[in-house]
């Protein structure tokens, strides 16, 4: 810790690799592509570790595609998701050459067609179908219900496939669905799978040939000791239903979530008759999940101090918001200066961090075997306002 200062994200290369392999190996010889969802943790060292394993990537912006390329990833193994792709993003993705666009609306399909036509190329497309299943997860990260902004419903998708099939500028290659994130039961995935497989056979009978099925990401992890999905049996069940279809998955959290921790230091202990606060140097701008989703991250004291005070602590940060907490009501023995690790912080931790309260984004370190390497340096204060200007008068 002394070498890198606090607060800090630390990732384990071995854990990232093991998690990715668990997906990959479950497929055996079945044609498949694991497209790691870059948004979960987009540090280029993380992407590089996965690129070296042969991973594909799920991107949602041209910025993410550029990160993948900078990290040595293969753009032809990238699927491009997201509801608001701009013409310029579509054009750049076509120039670079990606695996497939996951199309989220009729308007987007039209736009992709016209950009591809102007470039005299064919754009590979999948339609993201919204199977209208309840993923039984936090409403902010549930995406597969009709009321969500993502994908198109089954009937609309049929019309889009027929349209795409007739276009010289579009190449129908797959079908896509992603129903939400942090899903801890397999049944919503299987319900969605059944619905999209039925749609694929219906389309096939009508002459639309779908070559791959992208089942999205969303596999939940254990943040505490909760039960979650057995990845190998989920994949086996999917393969048993999917016949010869090539299967794509877009896991993010399941690969990096439990491969990362966020380490923060206790600045002050502040006890009153009502509440006991451990004021730490990490805050909601560094790890937003507790404030945004009331998410639970286990808190572990890195090295127990014999002079620590045992209490039920709220771990709160320096940001001026009551919502600025990383953990609530945790029985811990703490002393000023102690380091506390917030566990399972590898996914949607750093990647959702901000500079709120003019706080530099923290450093990131990757542990690989016996070595540890700085993979992102802590931002300097000056860099936070270097793109700002004062008025001239
Ligand atoms: N594919 C698509 C189209 C997605 O929208 C997402 C996540 C994924 C794959 C990866 O999902 P995963 O396997 O990581 O669950 N910030 C929230 C999670 C937002 C997820 C957004 N989409 C959180 O911290 O819980």
The predicted pLDDT at position 248 comes to 98
pLDDT for 26 beyond 70: yes
Last residue of a domain, one of 207, 224, 251: 251
Judge if 69 and 85 occupy the same domain.
yes
Judge if 247 and 317 occupy the same domain.
no
| 354-375 burial: b if 16+ Cβ within 10 Å, else e | eeeeebbbbbbbbeeeeeeeeb
Note if 177 is an active site residue: no
Cα of 269 to ligand 1 centre, how many Å?
35
pLDDT for 56 beyond 80: yes
pLDDT for 134-177, tens place per residue? 877 777 766 666 767 788 999 999 999 999 999 999 999 999 99
The predicted pLDDT at position 279 comes to 98
pLDDT for 265-316, tens place per residue? 999 999 998 999 999 999 999 999 999 999 999 999 999 999 999 999 999 9
The predicted pLDDT at position 162 comes to 97
118 CB contacts (<8 Å, ≥6 apart)? none
Distances in Å between the Cα of 353 and the Cα atoms of 142, 285, 358 are: 21, 5, 12
Judge if 201 and 281 occupy the same domain.
no
Cα of 5 to ligand 1 centre, how many Å?
30
Judge if 110 and 68 occupy the same domain.
yes
Nearest alpha carbon to residue 22 among 228, 254, 225:
254
Phi–psi pair at 248, nearest 5 degrees: -110, 145
Q: Does the predicted model carry a pTM greater than 0.85?
A: yes
Average pLDDT over residues 71-80: 98
The predicted pLDDT at position 1 comes to 67
Cα of 59 to ligand 1 centre, how many Å?
11
- Residue 243 zone, left/alpha/beta (φ > 0; ψ -120 to 50; rest): left
Q: How many CB atoms lie within 10 A of CB 335?
A: 15
Judge if 245 and 311 occupy the same domain.
no
The predicted pLDDT at position 333 comes to 98
- Total domains present in the chain: 2
pLDDT for 259-274, tens place per residue? 999 999 999 999 998 9
Question: Has residue 24 been placed in a domain?
Answer: no
pLDDT for 124 beyond 70: yes
Question: Has residue 12 been placed in a domain?
Answer: no
- Our answer on whether the CB atom of 135 is closer than 6 Å to any ligand 1 atom is no
3-class secondary structure, 352: helix
Q: Whose CA is nearest to atom 22 of ligand 1?
A: 181
Atom of ligand 1 nearest to the CA of 292: 24
Cα of 40 to ligand 1 centre, how many Å?
7
Pocket of ligand 1, candidates 250, 287, 295, 342: which has the most ligand atoms within 8 Å of its Cβ, to mutate? 250
Last residue of a domain, one of 217, 251, 285: 251
Q: Whose CA is nearest to atom 16 of ligand 1?
A: 348
The predicted pLDDT at position 134 comes to 80
Average pLDDT over residues 219-238: 96
Q: Please report where in the chains the tokens 């076509």 appear, as a residue.
A: 94
Last residue of a domain, one of 210, 231, 251: 251
165 CB contacts (<8 Å, ≥6 apart)? 172, 207, 208
Atom of ligand 1 nearest to the CA of 254: 13
**CATH number for 149:** 3.20.20.10
- Our answer on whether the CB atom of 284 is closer than 6 Å to any ligand 1 atom is no
pLDDT for 320-358, tens place per residue? 999 999 999 999 999 999 999 999 999 999 999 999 999
Q: Which domain range does residue 378 map to?
A: 258-385
- Our answer on whether the CB atom of 40 is closer than 6 Å to any ligand 1 atom is yes
**CATH number for 271:** 2.40.37.10
The predicted pLDDT at position 212 comes to 98
- Our answer on whether the CB atom of 252 is closer than 6 Å to any ligand 1 atom is yes
Judge if 198 and 301 occupy the same domain.
no
- Our answer on whether the CB atom of 297 is closer than 6 Å to any ligand 1 atom is no
pLDDT for 113-122, tens place per residue? 999 999 999 9
Q: How confident is the model at residue 125 (pLDDT cuts 50, 70, 90)?
A: very high
- Our answer on whether the CB atom of 81 is closer than 6 Å to any ligand 1 atom is yes
């Amino acid at each position: 810790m002394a070498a890198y200062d606090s607060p800090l994200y630390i990732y384990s290369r071995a854990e990232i690799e093991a998690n990715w392999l668990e997906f990959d190996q479950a497929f055996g010889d079945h044609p498949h592509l694991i497209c790691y969802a870059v948004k979960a943790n987009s540090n280029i060292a993380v992407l590089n570790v996965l690129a070296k394993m042969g991973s594909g990537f799920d991107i949602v912006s041209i910025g993410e595609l550029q990160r993948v390329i900078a990290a040595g990833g293969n753009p032809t193994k990238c699927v491009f998701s997201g509801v608001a792709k701009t013409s310029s993003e579509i054009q750049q993705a076509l120039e670079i050459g990606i695996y497939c666009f996951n199309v989220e609306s009729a308007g987007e399909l039209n736009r992709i067609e016209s950009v591809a036509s102007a470039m005299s190329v064919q754009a590979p497309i999948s339609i993201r179908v919204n199977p209208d299943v309840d993923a039984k997860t936090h409403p902010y990260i549930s995406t597969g219900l009709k009321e969500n902004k993502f994908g198109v419903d089954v009937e609309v998708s049929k019309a889009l496939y027929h349209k795409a099939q007739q276009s010289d500028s579009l190449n129908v290659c797959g079908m896509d669905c992603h129903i939400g994130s942090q899903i801890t039961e397999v049944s919503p995935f299987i319900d969605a799978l059944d619905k999209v497989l039925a749609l694929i056979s219906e389309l096939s009978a009508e002459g639309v040939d779908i070559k791959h099925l992208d089942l999205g990401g969303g596999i939940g992890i254990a943040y505490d000791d909760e039960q979650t999905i057995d990845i190998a049996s989920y994949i086996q069940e999917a393969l048993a239903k999917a016949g010869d279809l090539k299967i794509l998955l877009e896991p993010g959290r399941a690969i990096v979530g439990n491969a990362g921790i966020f380490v923060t230091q206790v600045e002050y202990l502040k006890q009153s008759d009502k509440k006991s606060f451990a004021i730490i140097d990490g805050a909601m701008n560094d790890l937003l999940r507790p404030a945004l989703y009331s998410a639970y991250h286990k808190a572990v004291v890195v090295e127990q101090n014999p002079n620590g005070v045992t209490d039920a602590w709220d771990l709160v940060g320096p940001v001026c918001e009551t919502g600025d907490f990383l953990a609530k009501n945790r029985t811990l023995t703490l002393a000023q200066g102690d380091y506390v690790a917030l566990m399972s912080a590898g996914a949607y931790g750093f990647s959702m961090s901000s500079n709120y309260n003019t706080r530099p984004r923290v450093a990131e370190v990757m542990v690989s075997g016996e070595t540890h390497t700085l993979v992102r340096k802590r931002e300097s204060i000056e860099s936070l306002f270097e793109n700002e200007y004062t008025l001239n008068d």
